[in-house]
Amino acid sequence: MVSDLRPLVGGPDEESRARPWPRPQVVLPHTHPTGPAVPMIDVHNHLGRWLSADGTFLGGEPGDLVALMDRLHLETVVNLDGRWGEELDANVARFDAVLGDRVQTFCHVDWDLLGLGDAASPECHARLEALMADSASRGAKGVKVWKDLGLTTRDATGALVLPDDPRVVTALRAAGDLGLPVLIHTADPVAFFEPLDETNERFDELSECPDWWFGGEGMPTFQQLIDALHRLVGACPGTTFVGAHVGGHAEDLGAVGRALAALPNFHVDTAGRLGEVGRQPRAFRALVEAFPDRVVWGSDCFPIDEDAIAVWWRFLETADEHFDYGVEGEAPGQGNWRISAADLPPALLPGLYHDNAARILGL
């Protein structure tokens, strides 16, 4: 599907990507927050070894992790890398069992179980329910569903499994029955589904990472995936959902607001989408004002980086304009733009940073 994209004709060569990011000449305030308004809960992070290139825990040693969290006023971090079975045991033993409520590890669903029966198979549904119960008994505090559901996960017939598949509904209803919230990543940035040419706002990024492009033949559209997500949430009214990356649709906050209005068990996190919300700070502020109990802060910054977290403080709490959302002075990794701050009213910050997540996590 995407193998024919290497190399991409017209993509940036190493020399062009190495050129300095242009320095703006406008004279603007530059605020340097030294900390957040209130202690934070990061609902979207990765401390385990699932995404590690060398098989080590991304959270490092527990003592070092706590020292870093204390410096950043991070009260709790959600570790989305629990997987299931023995890997879940290893994550819980390393972090939760040692650090208590400072780390909350979420499990995953083993979608390989879908290959053991079709959508109507009672045995398949029973296996998914049993997996949820087993993960809860091992100490999982919630469930993470990754974007492979809808993009790459296939069942025994070879069919692509979308988020609203009846088997997925069974598994995530079971999660709700067990008191486990579900943080779900559906689709990816809209540009990853658009034609891959120089009009694509993520062209530079996709030229370097062509496997991230999902606009090929036979793939679902972005909107099909988001619609399936919303049907899933509606089919599981007893389960609390957090839509990762601003509900999967950070480019259209009006659409996110309509989803929140229609789905009372749906929440959204901010993780990994500073480049999107920072281009529409007034719309982001309006979203938080309209749904002050349904937007939660998450970074998706792993390993946890002090400078990256500080950019979030600047975006949420100041009125600064036109600043870098990545490493200051370097070309951004996502798109060639800068952001402006949302200047949220102080009364909204406790819910966004802490209270909404504490309620979802049962802290």
* Residue-level pLDDT at 8: 30
Burial (CB count within 10 angstroms: exposed 0-12, middle 13-18, buried 19+), residue 101: middle
Higher pLDDT, 191 or 122: 191
Using the predicted structure, report yes or no on whether residue 117 has a pLDDT greater than 80. Answer: no
CA distances to 1, 77, 249, 321, 327 from 343, in Å: 43, 24, 22, 10, 21
Under the banding of pLDDT at 50, 70 and 90, the label for residue 116 is low
Mean pLDDT of the chain: 91
In the numeric block, which tokens belong to residue 317? 């709490």
- Model confidence at 150, pLDDT cuts 50, 70, 90, reads very high
| 253 within domain boundaries | yes
pLDDT-based confidence at 119, cuts 50/70/90?
A: low
Q: Is residue 17 part of a domain?
A: no
Say what the pLDDT of residue 120 is.
65
Is 12 a domain residue? no
pLDDT tier at 227, thresholds 50, 70, 90 = very high
pLDDT band at 84 (very low <50, low <70, confident <90, very high): very high
Query: What is the per-residue pLDDT across 55-77, written as a single tens digit (0 to 9) for each?
Result: 999 999 999 999 999 999 999 99
Q: What is the number of structural domains in the chain?
A: 1
- Dihedrals φ, ψ of 61, to 5°? -75, 140
CB distance 235 to 170 below 8 Å: no
What band does 115 get if pLDDT is binned at 50, 70 and 90?
confident
The three-class DSSP label of residue 269 is: strand
- Is 19 contained in some domain? no
Query: What one-character DSSP code corresponds to residue 40?
Result: E
Q: Is a pLDDT exceeding 80 seen at residue 15?
A: no
- The predicted pLDDT at position 13 comes to 42
pLDDT at position 1:
29
pLDDT at 77: 98
Give the pLDDT of residue 321.
96
Cross-strand pairs, 241? 182, 266
Q: Does residue 257 form part of some domain? A: yes
Instruction: Look at residue 45 in the predicted model and tell me its pLDDT.
Output: 98
Q: What is the CATH number of the domain that holds 214?
A: 3.20.20.140
Q: Is there a contact between 265 and 239 (Cβ–Cβ < 8 Å)?
A: yes
Contact 87, 79 (CB under 8 A): no
Task: Give the pLDDT score at 326.
Answer: 80
pLDDT digit string, tens, across residues 288-321:
999 999 999 999 999 999 999 999 999 999 999 9
Domain extent at residue 42: 32-361
Three-state helix/strand/coil letters over 114-144: HHHCCCCCHHHHHHHHHHHHHHHHCCCCEEE
* pLDDT above 50 (res 353): yes
In a domain, 317, yes or no: yes
Establish if 9 belongs to a structural domain: no
In a 3-state reduction of DSSP, which class is residue 99?
Answer: helix
Tokens of 225: 């995936």
For residue 92, how many other CB atoms are within 10 A of its CB? 21
Q: What is the pTM of this model?
A: 0.92
pLDDT of residue 122: 81
* Percentage of the chain exceeding pLDDT 90: 82
Q: Would 167 be classed as within a structural domain?
A: yes
85 pLDDT more than 60: yes
